[in-house]
Amino acid sequence: MKASVDTILEQLEQATALEDMQAVAEALRDRFNVSHVVYHWVSSSGEQYGCGTYSIEWVERYLEKEYLRVDPVITGCYNSFHPVDWKQLDWSGKATRQFQKEAIEYGVGRQGYSIPTRGPNGQYALFTVTDDRSDEEWEEFAEANRRSLIIVAHAMNEKALELEPGREGPPITALSPREVDAITCLALGQSRAQAAQKLSISEHTLRVYIESARHKLGALNTTHAVARAMQRGLIVV
């Protein structure tokens, strides 16, 4: 007996831990009659979390090999704000082909459909369903369930943000206006001297802002600080 999507969404609503989301993923797999349902996200600090029906071996291999940097699904969806059929992605390239081969060996379906979602602090998540149907069947499936899948993806996203591990960590502090100015200048490629001139302050003062921002962001150096500020949307470039 398959649960309805609404029932599963209710179940998701009640979730208070990753394990509950795991159960939701399994229920969704049964409901949609696909090989796998996976929800995978990258926190604002770059850590990966996920829940889904992939085998533990594949998950471990994925993390160990840092396939995040190879997986065309990740990079391909990163700029997309719409669902993506894996067939639309670029699977050329040596590392990518090897990755694809391994994925299939580990039981990931040949077909896939991924929906990217975001959080307010640069979190990036993917809700994915995979299967082994034929191209035509898969297209039909994706077309028919597009809306439901989008709704589910966004619901998963809400819950993931709510449960996000590492939330207890250093709070995401806002930067002061001058710090934003300083970091923005640097992100635009200006040297410290140029930035100081642009902001009409001494270079020493500028440095104080950069250092201050760097500490607030928990960044190791200026480049890191700029990257974090951008990722968290603290500056507009």
Partner DNA sequence: TGCCCCCTCGCTATTTCTGGGGAGTTGAAA
Partner DNA sequence: TTTCAACTCCCCAGAAATAGCGAGGGGGCA
Q: Nearest approach, Cβ of 65 to DNA (angstroms)?
A: 16
Q: Nearest approach, Cβ of 191 to DNA (angstroms)?
A: 4
Q: Which is nearer to its own copies, 25 or 226 (CB)?
A: 226
Which of 59, 211, 218, 231 is in the footprint of DNA by CB under 7 A?
211
Q: Is there binding between residue 193 and DNA (CB under 7 A)? A: yes
End-to-end CA distance of the chain: 51
Q: Nearest approach, Cβ of 80 to its own copies (angstroms)?
A: 7
Distance between CA atoms of 81 and 77, rounded to whole angstroms? 7
Which of 59, 199, 227, 230 is in the footprint of DNA by CB under 7 A?
199
Q: What does the DSSP assignment read for 114-175?
A: EEEEE-TTS-EEEEEEEE---HHHHHHHHHHHHHHHHHHHHHHHHHHHHH-TTTTSS--PPP
Q: Nearest approach, Cβ of 77 to DNA (angstroms)?
A: 22
Torsion-angle region of 26 (φ positive above 0: left; ψ -120 to 50: alpha; else: beta): alpha
Binding positions for its own copies, rule: CB under 8 A: 42, 46, 68-69, 74-75, 78-81, 93, 95, 117-118, 120-122, 124, 177, 180-181, 184, 186-191, 219-224, 226-227, 230-233, 236-237
Which of 13, 55, 191, 237 is in the footprint of DNA by CB under 7 A?
191
Q: Is there binding between residue 232 and DNA (CB under 7 A)? A: no
Element (H, E) at 79: none
Tokens of residue 171, six digits:
């709070």
Q: Nearest approach, Cβ of 160 to its own copies (angstroms)?
A: 15
Which amino acid makes up residue 70?
A: V
Rg (CA), the chain: 21
Q: Which is nearer to DNA, 2 or 101 (CB)?
A: 101
Q: Which is nearer to DNA, 23 or 180 (CB)?
A: 180
Burial of 110 from C-beta contacts in 10 A (0-12 / 13-18 / 19+): middle
